[in-house]
Structures are given as structure tokens and as C-alpha cells.
């Protein structure tokens, strides 16, 4: 493996002497603590650069400053630090020397008015004796398009299941475009958040060109949703050279770590309670309790613009209090395990139940059918084909999810 030349981590007290020297070049000489500072360092802890994020009196988050050592300029360190900063706070402001305007324009920023800059930073700039030669310019980050990608759309066996010769599995053997891996999704913005790690996740990530994961959420601790977690070990140890945030219920985390005890040092464990909210890469992600296995959550994902997507790959009928929260949701991505009701209502949905809840009860903008299991079919019936035919009557409002399918959050 070709390890990255440097990685980005939180600043620690041992870094501060070098940080104070580095930042003093930019006129920041009053640093008291490592809070808000991220550093780019090599595996042997040689520092390449650093970025400090500070919240202004108006509530805005500001880059103050970003500095890279001269000897490593041109290696993309500054861009990497900015991308890391945008993942933490997507709406960023900064004031920079006029001469480096092209750099910030190429990194997803735009010129803005001085009224977008916190008053204390404007005053600081006005009082600077070097203002005339510096030619300071205000910038703010541009909004970005955020995507939701289906990594997999099948239940635990996949399609085709190695042991199954139903019409859907036979069709998938003949036509690779009809194959489905176990369910999981990726949310992509400034960073990448993965929800569920199926046993197929290595192939899914490679297919989608995902080579970095910033956050991981788990819906529940069943094999088809966490059986690929071991694929993350060497990515975390050798590439990140740090830890990965792992968000889930207490039960889901405990059960997962029974299987992956050797990875307990790979994660920053975040135990979520029902209805807790986490802010990740500019998204608000709320854990909503589901009736499935103990500790199962669905995740309500809300963009800065207020668009809402609910992801619930394994659930029976939704709880009344969850329905109240979800009414009018823009996108409902939900368990549609069975075409016919096989008496599994206690733990799963069938397709018609998902559509009924999505359209008649929640009035969702779009309903995506996922976690499909076509194996328990009547002789000669391709249940996947039946599901597509059924969905077609809803004029595009009901969509059969496919591996690799994307939509904009």
C-alpha cells in the first residue's frame, strides 16, 4: 500500500510551540490552546501546516488562519486542510490577502461583502498597519450539491444468492446489471459518511470510487449491515492513522464490538439515544427508533436547506411518534423486503406496506424501495419484475432502488 504522505488530525498541546511560530508569520501571536486547530502531519509527526477555525461573535465560523510551511507548498496541503475544515463547518468565512484570491476561488470559495465577516474581524483588519499592501479580501464558502448513493439494495442474501435459483436470481446471474449487494448507503458532500457496512462493502466502495470515509453510522447489529466492518481496519490504521467516528445505539455498538473486538481502538464511539441529533458534514442526522432488532435506528437526514431524507432499511410498521416527525419528508428510503406479505410484519415491510405508509400516511415526495428479498416467490414469478411493474403506476413517485443509484439530498 502507498500510504499518504501526511494526514490531518486535531492539534495537541505538544504541537503548540511550532503552531505559535507558524501562525505568528500571519500575525496571530496570542494563541492560548490547541482548540479549533487541525494540523497536517507526516507519519513521523513532522508538521506540514495547520488551520484554525474560530467562531465569530455573529455565529459564523472563520478560518483564522491557514498556514503551510514553504518547503511543502505545492503538495496540496492547503487544499486538504480547507477540505477538512469545510467538512467540519461547511459555511466558512475568511479574509485573505488579495494576491492569493485565485487559490480560494479554486477551493470552493467566493468573494463576499465585508458585512458577511464578523465585526471584530473587520475591525482587526482595518487596524492592521499592513492593510494597504495586503489588499485584504473577504470570502465565504460556496454551497455544494450533496448526494445520497445506494451502495447496496438487497436483504442479507444478495441477488443472486449463491443457493437460490428463483427467477430473480437466475436473471441476475445472466445479467450483471440486475445484481444487488447487501444494503448500505453513502452520503457525499465535503466528506463521505457511510451508513451500514455490508459484507459487500469493499466492492461497493470501489465501484463508487470512494476511497475515504469520514463518519460511520450503523442502523443495527445484524450481519448484513455490519459484516463488512472489518474492511475498515487497515484503512483506519494505515491510511487514516487515527480513528473513525462510529455512531449507533448502545446495543448496536456493544453487539458489533463483540464481533470486532480487535478493532475497539479504531473508533471514536458515539452512543446515540433515540431522537438524538448529530451534525456531520453540514447535515443534521437524527436517530429515530424502529421496530426491528434491539437498538435499531433509522436516520433522518436534513440538509442546510431543510430537505429531509429518511433511511430505514430494516423496520416493521413505523411508530406513531416517528410518523409525526416524518410527515411531508422529501425522500423516504425504506425496508421493502418482501413483495408478498409472508407473515413478517413484526420485523419487516412488504412493498405495498412501504408504499402505503410513504404516500398515504407520510405524503413523502419520493418513496425508494430497498432491502429487497425476491427469494420466497411463487414458482416462475420474478418478484423484482413484479415490483418494478407495481412501482410504475405511481408516475415516478415510487422508485425501485438499484445499486449505484444516486439522488440529490
Residues 198-210 have a mean pLDDT of: 96
- Categorize the per-residue pLDDT at 132 as very low, low, confident or very high, splitting at 50, 70 and 90: confident
Look over the chain and give the mean of its residue pLDDT values, rounded to a whole number. Answer: 92
DSSP string, 198-254: -TTHHHHHHHHT-----EEE-S---HHHHTTGGGGHHIIIIIISS-EEEEE-HHHHH
Residues 157-182 have a mean pLDDT of: 90
pLDDT of residue 373: 86
Taking each helix axis as running N to C, give the angle between helix 167-174 and helix 383-391, from 0 to 180 degrees, rounded to the nearest 10: 90
pLDDT of residue 4: 79
> For the domain bounded by 7-141, which CATH number is listed?
3.40.630.30
In the block, cell 455565529 appears at 59
pLDDT of residue 356: 95
Superfamily assignment of 147-408 in CATH?
Answer: Ribonuclease Z/Hydroxyacylglutathione hydrolase-like (3.60.15.10)
Q: pLDDT digit string (tens) for 264-305?
A: 999 999 999 999 999 999 999 999 999 888 999 999 999 999
pLDDT of residue 341: 65
Q: What is the CA radius of gyration of the chain?
A: 24
Residues 237-243 have a mean pLDDT of: 87
User: Where exactly are the structural domains of the chain?
Assistant: 7-141, 147-408
58: nearest Cα among 136, 128, 123, 130: 123
Q: pLDDT digit string (tens) for 337-394?
A: 888 766 555 678 889 999 999 999 999 999 999 999 888 777 888 888 889 999 999 9
pLDDT of residue 342: 60
Separation between Cα atoms, residue 296 and residue 294, nearest integer Å: 6
Residues 6+ apart with CB under 8 A from 276: 286, 287
pLDDT of residue 377: 78
Residue 121 has pLDDT above 70, yes or no: yes
pLDDT of residue 328: 97
Separation between Cα atoms, residue 53 and residue 13, nearest integer Å: 16
Q: Who has greater pLDDT, 378 or 136? A: 136
Residue pair 297/287 in contact (Cβ under 8 Å)? The answer is yes
Amino acid at each position: 500500500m502507498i500510504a499518504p504522505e501526511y494526514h490531518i488530525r486535531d492539534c495537541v498541546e505538544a504541537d503548540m510551540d511550532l503552531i505559535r511560530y507558524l501562525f505568528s508569520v500571519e500575525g496571530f501571536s496570542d494563541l492560548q490552546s490547541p482548540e479549533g486547530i487541525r494540523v497536517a502531519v507526516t507519519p513521523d509527526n513532522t508538521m506540514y501546516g495547520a488551520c484554525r477555525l474560530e467562531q465569530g461573535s455573529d455565529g459564523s465560523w472563520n478560518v483564522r488562519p491557514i498556514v503551510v510551511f514553504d518547503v511543502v507548498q505545492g503538495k496540496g496541503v492547503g487544499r486538504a486542510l480547507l477540505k477538512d475544515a469545510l467538512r467540519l463547518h461547511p459555511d466558512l468565512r475568511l479574509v485573505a490577502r488579495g494576491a492569493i484570491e485565485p487559490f480560494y476561488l479554486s477551493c470552493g470559495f467566493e468573494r463576499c461583502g465585508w458585512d458577511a465577516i464578523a465585526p471584530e474581524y473587520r475591525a482587526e483588519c482595518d487596524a492592521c498597519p499592513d492593510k494597504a499592501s495586503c489588499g485584504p479580501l473577504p470570502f465565504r464558502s460556496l454551497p455544494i450539491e450533496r448526494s445520497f448513493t445506494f451502495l447496496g439494495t438487497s436483504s442479507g442474501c444478495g441477488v443472486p444468492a449463491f443457493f437460490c435459483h428463483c427467477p430473480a436470481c437466475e436473471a441476475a446471474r445472466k445479467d450483471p446489471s440486475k445484481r444487488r449487494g447487501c444494503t448500505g448507503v453513502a452520503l457525499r458532500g465535503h466528506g463521505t459518511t457511510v451508513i451500514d457496512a455490508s459484507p459487500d462493502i469493499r466492492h461497493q466502495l470501489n465501484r463508487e470510487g470512494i476511497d475515504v470515509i469520514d463518519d460511520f453510522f450503523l442502523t443495527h447489529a445484524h450481519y448484513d449491515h455490519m459484516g463488512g466492518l472489518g474492511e475498515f481496519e487497515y484503512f483506519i490504521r494505515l491510511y487514516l492513522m487515527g480513528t473513525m467516528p462510529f455512531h449507533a445505539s448502545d446495543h448496536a455498538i456493544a453487539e458489533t464490538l463483540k464481533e470486532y473486538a480487535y478493532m475497539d481502538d479504531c473508533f471514536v464511539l458515539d452512543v446515540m439515544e433515540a431522537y438524538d441529533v448529530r451534525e456531520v458534514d453540514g447535515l443534521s442526522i437524527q436517530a429515530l427508533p424502529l421496530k426491528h432488532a434491539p437498538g435499531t435506528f433509522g436516520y433522518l437526514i436534513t440538509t442546510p436547506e431543510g430537505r429531509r431524507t429518511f433511511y430505514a432499511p430494516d423496520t416493521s410498521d413505523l411508530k406513531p411518534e416517528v410518523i409525526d416527525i416524518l410527515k411531508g419528508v422529501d425522500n423516504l428510503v425504506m425496508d421493502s423486503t418482501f413483495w408478498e406479505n409472508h407473515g413478517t410484519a413484526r420485523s419487516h415491510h412488504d412493498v405495498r406496506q412501504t408504499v402505503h405508509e410513504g404516500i398515504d400516511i407520510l405524503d413523502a415526495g419520493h418513496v425508494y424501495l430497498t432491502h429487497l428479498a425476491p427469494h420466497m416467490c411463487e414458482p416462475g414469478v420474478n418478484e423484482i419484475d413484479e415490483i418494478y411493474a407495481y412501482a410504475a403506476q405511481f408516475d415516478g413517485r415510487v422508485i425501485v432502488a438499484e445499486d449505484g443509484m444516486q439522488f440529490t439530498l
